[in-house]
Amino acid sequence: MNPNGTRRILSRAAIALLLAAGVLSAGWIGDSPAGASFDFFGEFEPVASRALGGAGAASSDGVSGWFRNPATFPGAGLDLSAQFANDPFGGQSGSLLAAKRADSLSFRFVLGASKLYAVEELDERAERTGTLHEPGSVVMATGLSWRFRKFVFGYGVGLATDRISKHERTAIGWWMDAGALWNATRRFSASLALTRLGRRERAYAEGGDAKGWLPAELTLGTETKLDRKGRFFLLGDLTWPAFGESSAQIGLKWNAVQDLAQFRAGTKIDFAQAKWVWDRMGGSDRVWRPQTEELFAAGAMLSPGDWGVDYAIGVLRDGAGLRHALALRLAL
């Protein structure tokens, strides 16, 4: 590809990104998060991404990359992974991931389920309604990615169910993912992805509002190799959600022992959180700070052979507790 053609592609991609970011910032789905549903997707975030504080849209990790960007490619002919996670509020989730590569094409499949046991807010609601609320969800997703020269393009579709209690209806929703990954050089890659753009097609209660948007996100990601030997990588993502505040995720990967042990660490910077700190420094009385946001995350990936083990731990803000996640991998 000639330099002029490359510049045209990059300029058009930049314009499209700015337009999309402006649309999302303006609340193109709704004016407030109250219009969204199916807000449980974070429970299925892969361990590799959790350990980086949510970064990884431009990572080459093809098995776990489905969550941030469908345009990622598996490193082996067949990658399999089983993941388990829990949080201090009693939530538990499990998921199975599979990715098959054949030359320049790859296929992936994800199946997961989660259960949130009763917490204080749900207990209070149970006292008022006489019904025990135990939210549960099921996720099934599939997709394809295609590698062409320095680019990888990906597309995915998914189906999910969400239930607030055993005595209420199960809501059903669908979504689409699309993304692109550009391996610009041996040391730098960039990506752009639109994930979980979809609708709820069935209400939670009989006679309720059957329609509702899923929490779509637009993510711009980068990955930079910091040294010639490929031991240190810096990852950075910018995320514009359709609901809520924009955020940045920053992560660091360290290949301590090549092809054997890797350590990860990262954090998520919520722009509303940063504004809260700024307001407090300026003497404002605003006191908004969600307790479920992770302050810091870290993890390790061990790969003695064809199999591997991933672990991630997240420290929640305001001393709310710890989140743990464990994944078992097999590459064939």
Looking at residue 179, what is its pLDDT?
Answer: 92
Question: What pLDDT was estimated at residue 11?
Answer: 54
Q: Which pLDDT score is estimated for 32? A: 46
Q: Looking at domain 3-331, what is its CATH homologous superfamily? A: Outer membrane protein transport protein (OMPP1/FadL/TodX) (2.40.160.60)
Averaged pLDDT in 10-residue chunks for the chain of 332 residues: 57 56 49 57 85 86 74 82 83 88 88 72 50 72 91 92 74 90 92 90 64 84 92 92 83 89 89 56 42 74 89 79 90 84
* pLDDT for res 286: 37
Domain ranges for the chain, please list them. Answer: 3-331
What is the per-residue pLDDT for 191?
Answer: 92
Confidence at residue 61, expressed as pLDDT on a 0 to 100 scale: 64
- SS3 sequence of the chain: CCHHHHHHHHHHHHHHHHHHHHHHHCCCCCCCHHHECCCCHHHHCCHHHHCCCCCCCCCCCCCHHHHCCCCCCCCCCEEEEEEEEECCCCEEEEEEEEEEEECCEEEEEEEEEEEECCCHHHHHHHHHHCCCEEEEEEEEEEEEEEEECCEEEEEEEEEEEEEEECCCCCEEEEEEEEEEEECCCCCEEEEEEEEEEEEECCCCCCCCCCCEECCCEEEEEEEEECCCCCCEEEEEEEEEECCCCCEEEEEEEEEEECCCEEEEEEEEEEHHHHHHHHHHHCCCCCCCCCCCCEEEEEEEEECCCCEEEEEEEEEEHHHCCEEEEEEEEEEC
